[in-house]
Amino acid sequence: MKLHIALLPGDGIGEEIITQAVKCVDATCRRFGHEVTYSRGLVGAAAIDATGDPYPEATHRLCVEAGVVLFGAVGSPRYDNDPSARVRPEQGLLAMRGRLGLYANLRPVNIFPSLVARSPLRGELLEGVDILCVRELTGGIYFGRPRGRSEDGETAYDTCVYTREEVRRVCALAFEQARRRRGRLTVVDKANVLATSRLWRETAREMAPAYPDVTVEYMFVDNAAMQLVRQPAAFDVIVTENLFGDILTDEAGAITGSLGLLPSASVGAGVSLFEPIHGSYPQAAGKDIANPVATILSAAMMFEHAYHLHAEGAAIRRAVATAIADGFVTEDISADGHAYGTRAVGSYIAGKI
């Protein structure tokens, strides 16, 4: 098969982790006989510096033409510490999601047995943890209008907006994922307070009879946050709106012991995008200490979801599991203080593939 992948390293550690993922994609393609070509684009602070736009038109065209995107991260302290900045790197990510129609983010949460001790939770709570979080990605408070500040700067406001169709399409995806897994779906909202959450719950209830093989429960977001640390193994598939999903998936990710382990897929009508859930980690940029595993596992999801090449994705997962079991890991998950660099870990995993 011929693969064409758009590479958007972004900011901070983005270039380093994408480089390691490419090593593993190349190794997988050599092993399974595929041809792969890459196109590179700018996004985030790197794009602002070069063009003034965090998501330039050239990058958008590149993503559409490739159809598959492997993305690093965006974010820079230069903008984080400047409240007056009119353009921010994160606007590039939101624009990319919106323009590419990436309405759902899939985030699996699994436990590597050799890393149980790294989790903040007791080991017995981690047995059987296998969660898929489905986060709505192009609606809600991140995209709502109006938003802004009053003229005197003393009041700020954001608007959370959802349509029934936006809720329906992401819930349909979540129902289908639950049907393929263990048949349980948790709809997370704040329906006791928020009108948008009441629309979410109402829509999910209307859809549920079409999926009689899926058991559905409804949970307020504050309770869901508590249950994720009390009994994470009780969850199968979680679906929720954009802001709640952003927060809950990072919480769920911490259960694994490091955000550097968690991949994700963003999907929609056509183009699909694969990225680690962590940020740009600018403090580590250029130091060869960033964990590339989440990006490498995102590449595994890319083979499976974008190309339906499941043996290839499984080969990457096995290689990652072997590296972790062998203790060939970066400092964030090293158990004995002996850690390897980003490049070394990427090369080790590619070698195992």
Cα separation, 73 vs 96, whole angstroms: 12
Residue corresponding to tokens 């090293």: 334
| DSSP, res 259 | G
Question: Catalytic pick from 80, 82, 222, 326?
Answer: 222
- 3-state SS assignment for residue 294: helix
Cα separation, 41 vs 296, whole angstroms: 19
Question: Catalytic pick from 55, 79, 103, 142?
Answer: 142
Cα separation, 204 vs 209, whole angstroms: 9
Question: Catalytic pick from 130, 246, 288, 307?
Answer: 246
- Degrees (nearest 5) of the Cα angle 24, 102, 11? 55
- Dihedral, CA of residue 302, residue 308, residue 311 and residue 316, to nearest 10: 0
Q: Is 142 among the residues known to form the active site?
A: yes
Cα separation, 249 vs 131, whole angstroms: 10
Q: Is 222 among the residues known to form the active site?
A: yes
Q: Is 246 among the residues known to form the active site?
A: yes
Task: Return all residues near 337 (Cβ < 8 A) that are at least 6 apart.
Answer: none
Cα separation, 32 vs 283, whole angstroms: 37
187, 220 in Cβ contact below 8 A?
no
Q: Other CB atoms closer than 10 Å to residue 65's CB: what's the count?
A: 11
Question: Catalytic pick from 79, 190, 236, 348?
Answer: 190
Q: What is the CA radius of gyration of the chain?
A: 20
242-255 helix and 221-230 helix, angle to the nearest 10 degrees: 10
Question: Catalytic pick from 49, 130, 158, 250?
Answer: 250
Catalytic residues: 142, 190, 222, 246, 250
